[in-house]
Amino acid sequence: MWHVIDDFLTQLNTIKRRLLLDERGAVMVFLAFATIPMIGFVGVGTDVARAYLVKSRLSSALDAAGLAGGRSFFAATRDADIDMFFQANFPTGYMGSTLEGPTKTIDEESETIHLYARATIPTSFMHLLGHNELTVDASAEVVRKMVALDVVLSIDMSGSMNWSSGSGGSRISAARSAATELVSILFGGDTEKDFLNIGVVPWAGKVKVMRQGESYDSALTTSQAVDAFINPVTGTAQSEVWFANNSPVALLSAPEPTWSGCVFNRYLHDGLPTSDADALLGPVEVPDADWMAWEPIGFAGDPFPGSGKCAMTVGGSECTRCPYYGISPLDNVKQDVLDAISELQSPTGTTNIPAGLGWAWRALKPEAPFTEAVADPDYDLQRAIVLLTDGENTGGVGDGYKTVFGRGTPAGPEMNARLLALANNIKADGVIIYVIQFANSGGALQQLLKDVASGPNSPYYYYAPNGDALQQVFREIANHLSELRLAK
């Protein structure tokens, strides 16, 4: 564009020299001499200003398109998203321009998008000087920048997750598919990432605290000496805790040979709210109780072999079963995380959201029992929990609270209050909580989960009415976890 202005100034100097050498009609000469450059500069200025407006709009459109493409970098819609956002910000024929591009250069290894476009506009005045058009161009580069990130997926595995997702397949199959896409977006083309760790915590009426994929052998149970404390369950003093061979969780007693891997919530229903460590991390001392470990659930709360009954059975009712799947701790290997998600089959049991959220928090933190997280990192680290549930808190025989709040929905108010207290502690700890209300449109549940989430609307709280919507929600959460920046 600048060479056009140089040509105009050269022609203007030629005219000036001719006029200065001609002494006839001196006054008219000076008027002409003054008028010509005035008209010329106004004309050139008008065309140049139009060109700058086009260039500015072109740059903004490329930036918007690049960011849109970055958000859907590994999705099939990426290129379509780029074109759609570009078109929305740079309409066809803008200020009479004709367009070349945008051309796209995608580097999936470095997760970079480079865009380039050129626009040509007709001149209004400069065509009198032989320049019929001006051309401007612009480019944008967007880099998907992943900050250090630890994420735990807390997935509801209660019996209703076997029901239809509303868009084909079961709810749990929709959850597996959506969670798989989230992992794929976060890892991108890498098989592992140094600053990305993802864990999985399945839960129902209680949580299986064994490490997923590791078998339990009671002969390998060990004990560890600790400072003397009062066992809050028995009320007696003891100075040791126990560890199963496949779990880092300290236990108040040696688990039975047939232990399924579940533990009761750390709570005493004795009217003393201080007898409660349910919403706290790790071994803690609170008034009236020392919660140095968790109580393993034996036949008191888990079904006897070959039976749906347990010692807590009332009126022949069946006990809520321990989930089939244990906790997959934080891991930076993509395939390990995908394997943990793919194993989530056969949901069973009731809904105990506080248990699922509480163990997700414990798996996310460097304090015992799970210690995979880095303590005091010398880099910026964001921790987050993605909580998915399709139901309301309900009590069940042998659930994590020993059915002290009752069976079915009457247990809801007590469990809801405990869930909110836990969520507030987690958020105060700097952890982001994303909550997905799946398939269940209950208004009371909606308000509860909005309060649990880090915010009452997206990107923190979502309602997904069916499997297709769930896929989009997980995609949006994954993209929110990715920080985009304009490289240049």
β-pair type (196-203, 289-291): unpaired
Both 139 and 176 in one domain: the answer is no
Q: Residue 449, Cβ neighbours under 10 Å: how many? A: 25
Q: Report the candidate in 480, 484, 418 with the shortest Cα–Cα distance to residue 455.
A: 480
- The alpha carbon torsion through 308, 311, 314, 318 (nearest 10 deg) reads -10
Average pLDDT score over residue span 187-199? 91
Both 15 and 132 in one domain: the answer is yes
Of 7-11, 67-71, 144-148, 363-367, the least confident: 7-11
Quote the CA–CA distance of 301 and 96 in Å, as a whole number: 75
Judged against a pLDDT cut of 70, whether residue 274 lies above it is answered with no
Summarised one tens digit per residue, pLDDT across range 462-472 is 999 999 999 99
Judged against a pLDDT cut of 50, whether residue 286 lies above it is answered with yes
3-state secondary structure of 138: strand
Both 330 and 453 in one domain: the answer is yes
Q: Which of 144, 161, 182 is where one domain is finished?
A: 144
Judged against a pLDDT cut of 90, whether residue 281 lies above it is answered with no
369 prior amide bond cis, ω within 30: yes
Q: Report the candidate in 432, 375, 392, 455 with the shortest Cα–Cα distance to residue 152.
A: 432
Scan for tokens 């007693």, then name that residue: 253
Quote the CA–CA distance of 251 and 293 in Å, as a whole number: 5
Q: Which residue has the higher pLDDT, 32 or 328?
A: 328
Average pLDDT score over residue span 28-54? 64
Judged against a pLDDT cut of 60, whether residue 157 lies above it is answered with yes
Both 124 and 24 in one domain: the answer is yes
pLDDT of residue 306: 78
Of 310-314, 352-356, 404-408, the least confident: 310-314
Q: Report the candidate in 36, 30, 39 with the shortest Cα–Cα distance to residue 13.
A: 36
Judged against a pLDDT cut of 50, whether residue 121 lies above it is answered with yes
pLDDT of residue 440: 87
Q: Going by C-beta distance under 8 Å and a sequence separation of 6 or more, which residues neighbour residue 339?
A: none
Average pLDDT score over residue span 109-119? 90
In a domain, 264, yes or no: no
pLDDT of residue 485: 45
> For residue 422, what are its two tokens?
């836990």
Q: Which residue has the higher pLDDT, 480 or 275?
A: 480
Both 338 and 409 in one domain: the answer is yes
Both 194 and 46 in one domain: the answer is no
* pTM greater than 0.85: no
> For residue 14, what are its two tokens?
């030629």
Q: What is the mean pLDDT of the chain?
A: 87
Q: Residue 103, Cβ neighbours under 10 Å: how many? A: 11
Summarised one tens digit per residue, pLDDT across range 221-263 is 999 999 999 899 998 999 999 999 999 999 999 999 999 999 9
Q: Which residue has the higher pLDDT, 173 or 123?
A: 173
Judged against a pLDDT cut of 80, whether residue 140 lies above it is answered with yes
Average pLDDT score over residue span 201-225? 97
Of 11-15, 200-204, 400-404, 406-410, the least confident: 11-15
In a domain, 226, yes or no: no
Judged against a pLDDT cut of 90, whether residue 133 lies above it is answered with no
Judged against a pLDDT cut of 60, whether residue 4 lies above it is answered with no
Average pLDDT score over residue span 193-203? 95
Q: Which of 93, 124, 144 is where one domain is finished?
A: 144
User: For residue 334, what are the domain limits?
Assistant: 148-214+321-486
The percent of residues above 90 in pLDDT, for the chain, comes to 61
Both 482 and 354 in one domain: the answer is yes
In a domain, 242, yes or no: no
In a domain, 188, yes or no: yes
Q: Which of 109, 124, 144 is where one domain is finished?
A: 144
The percent of residues above 70 in pLDDT, for the chain, comes to 87
Judged against a pLDDT cut of 60, whether residue 23 lies above it is answered with no
Quote the CA–CA distance of 331 and 144 in Å, as a whole number: 21
Three-class HEC string of 36-53 = HHHHHHHHHHHHHHHHHH
| Cβ-contact 316, 309 below 8 angstroms | yes
Judged against a pLDDT cut of 50, whether residue 139 lies above it is answered with yes
Of 72-86, 121-135, 409-423, 429-443, the least confident: 121-135
pLDDT of residue 27: 47
Both 200 and 68 in one domain: the answer is no
- Type of residue found at 153: L
Both 63 and 187 in one domain: the answer is no
> For residue 412, what are its two tokens?
């809801």
pLDDT of residue 31: 47
pLDDT of residue 282: 83
The domain that holds 433 is classified in CATH as: 3.40.50.410
DSSP 395: B
Judged against a pLDDT cut of 70, whether residue 19 lies above it is answered with no
In a domain, 279, yes or no: no
DSSP 303: P
pLDDT band at 425 (very low <50, low <70, confident <90, very high): very high
DSSP string, 172-237: HHHHHHHHHHHHHHHHTT-SB-TTEEEEEEEESSSEE-SBTT----GGG-EEEEEEEEE-TTT--E
Quote the CA–CA distance of 110 and 324 in Å, as a whole number: 39
Quote the CA–CA distance of 57 and 287 in Å, as a whole number: 65
In a domain, 163, yes or no: yes
> For residue 49, what are its two tokens?
């200003």
* Domains in the chain, number: 2
Average pLDDT score over residue span 33-52? 65
In a domain, 266, yes or no: no
pLDDT of residue 22: 54
Scan for tokens 């061979």, then name that residue: 245
pLDDT of residue 143: 84
| Residues paired with residue 114 on neighbouring β-strands, in sequence order | 105, 141
Both 102 and 56 in one domain: the answer is yes
Both 329 and 192 in one domain: the answer is yes
Summarised one tens digit per residue, pLDDT across range 173-188 is 999 999 999 999 899 8
Judged against a pLDDT cut of 60, whether residue 2 lies above it is answered with no
pLDDT of residue 50: 84
Length of the chain in terms of residues written: 488
In a domain, 99, yes or no: yes
Both 95 and 193 in one domain: the answer is no
